[in-house]
Amino acid sequence: MSVKRLHKRTFIAILLVVLILAVAPLSSVVFAQDAVTLDRDDPSLVTYYTHDGDLSVERDPQLAGSTISVRWVDNIFLGLTDLSPETAEVRPELATEWSASEDGLTWTFKLRDDVPWVSWNPETQEAKVMRMVTAEDVVTGTRRACNATLGGSYGPVTASFVAGCSEVLASAEPTQDLFEGVGVKAVDEHTVEFTLTSPTGFFPAVASLWTLRPVPAEQIDTFGAAWVEPENAWSNGPFLADVVTAGVGRTLIRNPFMPEDLRGPGNIDRVEVLVINDASTLLSAYLNGQVDMVRSGSLPTGETEGLIANEALADQLLFINGISIDYLSFNNGKPPFDDVHVRRAFSAAIDRDAIIKDAAGGLGTPTIHLIPPSIPGAPPVDQIGVGYDPEYAVAQLALSPYPGCEGFPEVHSVSQPGRRTAYVEFLIKSWSTVLGCDPALFTNEVIEDFSNMIPVISISNDMDARPEWHPIGWGPDYPDPNNYDGDIIKCDIDNAFTSRPCSEVDDLIQAAREETDPATRKQMYADIEEMFFGEDGLHPIAPIRLASNYALYQTYLSGPIETDGQVGGEHWDWYTIDKAAQDAVHTSA
């Protein structure tokens, strides 16, 4: 063989390699290298210092249920779709396009082929591409969302949409046959198909839910519940979990292998989440330069006037109108709140303006029905509902087994620290004043973390051990009235923990969900709200307050501050920090 011939063959081989790479799928050639060593201590990294509550198993997408956990999951795992941090409109994420069958029962999503699962080694600080995300990962995640034995709280929500999920949810030992009956399948490597329980025109918004996030089966099979620990986890979102210290904080580092067109416009390289549950401590941390922001609802209620008057904070203090809601959940399944007259009486005895002033620092909008006015199709906030009406309250209690509160049993509640515990204290006084109930009849247990509160109020808990009532909050998961009436108080959804029996209003909720005409849906939801909260309504819960509150953000931090996280989680990759200005503030503090 001549040298000349060898050179010719070598040239042809190289040319073939180049041609193969040129026509290969993007997922095969997108990375110049499949492992990168980073340095979390690099002083040039832009770090976002934020705050939140503690997290444990809720770092798993299918176990997430609190706003704290959703904020974490949304920055670690991509969804099929995403809700814009600026408008809450549905936009593509893992899915590039979607379509529905003529009967509205089948939805097909086409997935990207260039999104990798990335591992992170906290010791060596190496990020490594493991493989690409596929439709089978979506199947794995969706089936896990239906598995009640894992302990997640959002299984009923998933089951309300995905066919076959409720059968798995109801099983104490779900079989492979049951899992295969869940209405999700991989048509091919990058196409996933969902079969729904009923036609749902807004399913692309539902597809943004964390419960439907793809997860890697091999990691879960290998490590079990510990698969979410940083050293075991595979992620595909904007950030990788770096360090998690219970009760102290969590850190994330920018995912170097996420496709750039999926990444938001921000410049954050690293996120440090400090666990701070006390509002006064949090404010001090902000003023001392330890955190870059204090989100809406987290400032000490007694400090509002002083913060407004503080000229040094004038350009940092923001007033943010929200669409989350605080309400009282009555346990409709046992006395005394199994009686509709009792529920009507206790709801109408609440002066919502006064409770907001007393327990929420005067911040928030009183509400007497459930769906916020900013949600498309919602009825006006002041046209449906009873509201504060002591005369009506006393008259309703007189129709109950406990007229004048005589013979009223001892009742127990649970609450989280802060505003909702203040609600309890206010309400006990109000019910004593308006209804004549002895304050000694009411006891309350403060539970620090929402993840610890779920087992107490859950329908899976023994009815005798469940509280008779509790204050709770709800932040929407997708922007539709069904996410309120359908996902909080519909009789076959456990998310509100009301245990209310089914009635004709539930048939109307189902019909409204399936209706496609916006005007017809709007009237249907007005009728639903009247059936729940009108003078002759069922009153399974007592709406109190729509969130409106002050927040603090350093001026060196920019992004969709006033809109991000209103529905779903926050998008930390959309935030930009002027590092020099941040360093100056931290140094001076």
Write out pLDDT tens, residues 410-450: 999 999 998 999 999 999 999 999 999 999 999 999 998 88
Name the one residue in this structure whose structure tokens are 């209405």: 183
Poorest-confidence range of 47-56, 226-235, 572-581? 47-56
How do residues 121-155 score in pLDDT, each as one tens digit? 999 999 999 999 999 999 999 999 999 999 998 89
Residue 447's pLDDT is 94
Q: Using alpha carbons, select from 484, 121, 449 the residue that is nearest to residue 275.
A: 449
Average pLDDT, integer, range 513-538: 93
Q: Residue 33 pLDDT > 80, yes or no? A: no
Residue 54's pLDDT is 86
| Residue 485 amino acid letter | D
- SS3 state of residue 249: strand
pLDDT-derived band at 494, boundaries 50, 70, 90: low
Average pLDDT, integer, range 513-537: 93
Burial class (CB in 10 A: 0-12, 13-18, 19+), 95: buried
| Residue 349 amino acid letter | A
CA angle 323, 553, 253 (to 5 degrees): 95
Between 36 and 589, residue with greater pLDDT: 36
Between 59 and 518, residue with greater pLDDT: 59
- 342's tokens: 């009792």
Inter-axis angle of helices 352-359 and 419-435, nearest 10 = 140
CB 551 within 8 A of CB 296: yes
Poorest-confidence range of 25-29, 264-268, 541-545? 25-29
Q: Residue 523 pLDDT > 50, yes or no? A: yes
Residue 392 CA from chain centroid, whole number: 36
- 365's tokens: 């909008």
Cα(234)–Cα(240) distance, rounded to whole angstroms? Answer: 8
Average pLDDT, integer, range 168-192: 97
Residue 459's pLDDT is 85
**How does strand 411-415 pair with strand 442-446?**
parallel
How do residues 203-249 score in pLDDT, each as one tens digit? 999 999 999 999 999 999 999 999 999 999 999 999 999 999 999 99
Neighbouring C-alpha atoms within 13 Å toward the C-beta of 228: 19
pLDDT-derived band at 533, boundaries 50, 70, 90: very high
Q: Using alpha carbons, select from 266, 442, 270, 297 the residue that is nearest to residue 360.
A: 297
Average pLDDT, integer, range 190-210: 95
Average pLDDT, integer, range 489-501: 80
Residue 379's pLDDT is 81
Cα(258)–Cα(573) distance, rounded to whole angstroms? Answer: 11
CA angle 141, 35, 210 (to 5 degrees): 20
Cα(434)–Cα(388) distance, rounded to whole angstroms? Answer: 11
Residue 228 CA from chain centroid, whole number: 18
Residue 31's pLDDT is 57
pLDDT-derived band at 8, boundaries 50, 70, 90: very low
CB 235 within 8 A of CB 76: yes
Inter-axis angle of helices 419-435 and 390-398, nearest 10 = 70
Cα(341)–Cα(17) distance, rounded to whole angstroms? Answer: 78
Cα(529)–Cα(538) distance, rounded to whole angstroms? Answer: 10
Residue 32's pLDDT is 53
* Residues 6+ away with beta carbon under 8 Å from 223: 229, 232
Task: Report the percent of the chain where pLDDT is more than 70.
Answer: 94
- SS3 state of residue 185: strand
Q: Residue 88 pLDDT > 90, yes or no? A: no
Stated pTM of the model: 0.79
Longest CA–CA separation in the chain, Å: 109
User: What domains can you pick out in the chain, each with its CATH number?
Assistant: 60-235 (3.90.76.10), 321-547 (3.10.105.10)
Cα(143)–Cα(204) distance, rounded to whole angstroms? Answer: 18
Burial class (CB in 10 A: 0-12, 13-18, 19+), 367: buried
Average pLDDT, integer, range 295-319: 91
Q: What is the DSSP letter of 200?
A: -
Average pLDDT, integer, range 479-496: 84
Burial class (CB in 10 A: 0-12, 13-18, 19+), 424: buried
How do residues 375-408 score in pLDDT, each as one tens digit? 877 887 778 999 999 999 999 999 999 999 999 9
Cα(61)–Cα(28) distance, rounded to whole angstroms? Answer: 27
First and final CA of the chain: distance in angstroms? 75
Q: Residue 258 pLDDT > 70, yes or no? A: yes
Poorest-confidence range of 183-197, 280-294, 335-349, 504-518? 504-518
Q: Residue 547 pLDDT > 80, yes or no? A: yes
pLDDT-derived band at 22, boundaries 50, 70, 90: very low
Residue 80's pLDDT is 98
Q: What is the DSSP letter of 359?
A: H
Q: What is the mean pLDDT of the chain?
A: 91
Which residues lie across from 542 on neighbouring strands?
328
Q: Residue 284 pLDDT > 80, yes or no? A: yes
- 20's tokens: 């193969």
Q: Residue 308 pLDDT > 60, yes or no? A: yes
pLDDT-derived band at 24, boundaries 50, 70, 90: very low
